[in-house]
A and B are shown apart, each in its own frame.
Chain A
Amino acid sequence: MLKAIESSEITKTFGATKALDNISFSVNESEVFGFIGPDGAGKTTLFRIITTLMLPDEGTMKVLGMDCKSEYKELRKNIGYMPGRFSLYQDLSVEENLNFYATVFGTTVEENYELISDIYSHIEPFKKRLAGKLSGGMKQKLALSCALIHKPRLLVLDEPTTGVDAVSRSEFWDMLGKLRQHNITIIVSTPYMDEAIRCDKVALLQNGRILSIDTPQKIRAGFSRKLFAVKSVEKYRLIKTLRKNPEILTAYPFGDSVHVTFINNTLDNCLFEYLAKEGIGDAVIQELEAGIEDRFLELMNKER
């Protein structure tokens, strides 16, 4: 299979900060590849190098078979880019924005309409509205349409779901899923760990380094211990109590439960009694499969 992106030992430094440290990975054609990591992990910097907007200090990057440094002119014609903050013309209407990007890429809205029809249909009733007056979810859909309108071979989406409500986020990933049938390679960056499972492959990024690259399932399976979820009504007390327990290795709040691992990797039978003694009588403990975020936390701790 042809590689859509081949990155080798990419390093990028800004002043005293190493934004990217020896990043190597490859993306297959037609894959949906996610880069997961918090702010400052290096996602935007990496995407800017991929889209030829920045040059790496060291390393090589081949995108769609072209070198990101010397063949940038040709490469730019084949990429659909949606940067953070969506970058739409706030004082142009939905329609005008779309037409502009179509023209700039030497095509028309009609030519590739079937590619964006699912997405655009949500905002078409608002096509005369100024982009600045759209809600976050609608801006997102418009920006995606503009990035797709010229049928790029590679779609680069930098934090397309940040700051957008949960429902729109979910819908967005549904739309991305439908794009697979058009053989477009898609790379997405996001700080939301739960979005990782929507990708074919995922790279976990932290402080400019890749902690892990694999399919979401394999990353989860990489969790090295048994994981347990402990629930109680008194969440704060539960966390503090669990942390005091000498048998417990890690205890992290995860929504309505606390994910714990044990030093000797088995459920301590005395845990219930211990909790009851500390005043928590309603604890419920269950073993569960590790999620991406659990694995991320484990890897982060290893790095420290």
Chain B
Amino acid sequence: MKRFLGFVKKEFLHIFRDYRTLFILFGIPAAQILIFGYAVSTDIKNAGVAILDLSHDEVTQKLTDKIFSSGFFKKTETLLNYNNIDKVFKKGKTKAVIVFEDDFGKKLISEGKASLNIIADGSEPNTATLITNYTTAIMNDFTNEFAGSVLNNSIRISPELKMLYNPNLKSHFMFVPGVVTLILILICALMTSVTITREKEFGTMEVLLVSPLRPIQIILGKVTPYFILSFINVLLILGLSWLVFGLPVKGSITLLLAECMLYILMSLTLGILISTVSKNMQQAIFISLIGLMLPTILLSGFIFPIENMPKIYDYVSSIMPPRYFIVIIKNIMIKGTGLMYIWKETLILIIMTLVFIGLSVRKFKIRLE
């Protein structure tokens, strides 16, 4: 018993003398609660909605006002006809288009029912379903009010939902692109972050430094094999998602592959940057796995739309590469867009890559201290 207690006491001493352990023990749970609490929300707020009003009567006007005063939706555009719906979605700001059919108000009064179409961006099935539910609730609310004041009781406004790009509402249309984004950045950053710190730990870095090799040569030399191998990885992942999940690539495959390689390059250089600031492999792994994983899952828009989070998370998320890549990959794969719609995100990734390389070269220690 004495031995046991003596041993327990020793373990306590180790823990309290190592600030890293304390951080993991207390710091991380606290951070997680905060992040989860705010980021995870199944409510929608300010979801972008466009209106296609083919009727233009008092009823549709009232409904439109009610929809946008609810606080859940934000008006993005007013459409005149069906022609531009595709473009509107590709721009990315609109998540759903609410279509009031011809003679909406008249039909409602005379026949007791009118139909309302919701055309939603199927590349975000969760949001689409939520929008439908909220709209339905607003409609029901409206019919209750309206019924009470003007008409007899049984009126119905039945919203019909049509998913663009994802007619069967397959959730892996949302998941697979997100998972690809997550996996690529984690694996690539992890691989390269370990490789430099490993040389530091085993002492071989010392010998490399006392040689004609320049830092940029060492860095690019470490990135190149992983870059080539990751390309094969990408083909594998895309192939599997197509074979197993039936996930198509609506847009240009060449563009998709090119963007993937850009993302991979960015992730590899991020890993290098991590390794230049890590003292040992443990630290490097910690930062690249744990440091990157949680924020990527929660804050990149992968599962939880960024629009639903408090503004501050939006700012934090804007420095995270996965946020931009998810937009790119979803656009190409599910919406079939071309470079025109995603040039902004692509440019941001390019800039990030260059910044990471530049920083890595600068932070690369040419001496041992």
Contact = CB atoms under 8 A, between A and B. Distances in A.
Interface of A: 48, 51-55, 72, 76-77, 79, 81-90, 101, 104-106, 146-147
A87 B202 contact: yes
B368 A53 contact: yes
Give the dominant DSSP class at A's interface: loop
A81 B207 contact: yes
Interface in B180-219: 202-204, 206-213
A105 B367 contact: no
B369 A76 contact: no
6 contacts: A55-B367, A82-B207, A86-B203, A87-B207, A90-B202, A101-B207
B208 to A, nearest CB: 7
Contacts of A146: 207
Contacts, number: 51
B338 to A, nearest CB: 44
B209 A76 contact: yes
Given A48-B368, A54-B368, A54-B369, A88 B211 contact: no
A135 B203 CA distance: 18
Contacts of B209: 53, 76
A52 B202 contact: no
B203 A104 contact: no
Interface of B: 202-204, 206-213, 366-369
Contacts of A81: 206-207, 210
Contacts of B203: 83-87
A81 B202 CA distance: 15
A97 to B, nearest CB: 10
B204 A104 contact: no
B204 A106 contact: no
A87 B202 CA distance: 6
A185 to B, nearest CB: 15
Contacts of B202: 87, 90
Given A79-B210, A147-B207, 17 more contacts: A51-B210, A54-B367, A72-B366, A76-B209, A76-B212, A77-B212, A81-B206, A81-B207, A83-B203, A84-B203, A86-B203, A87-B202, A87-B203, A87-B206, A104-B208, A105-B211, A106-B212
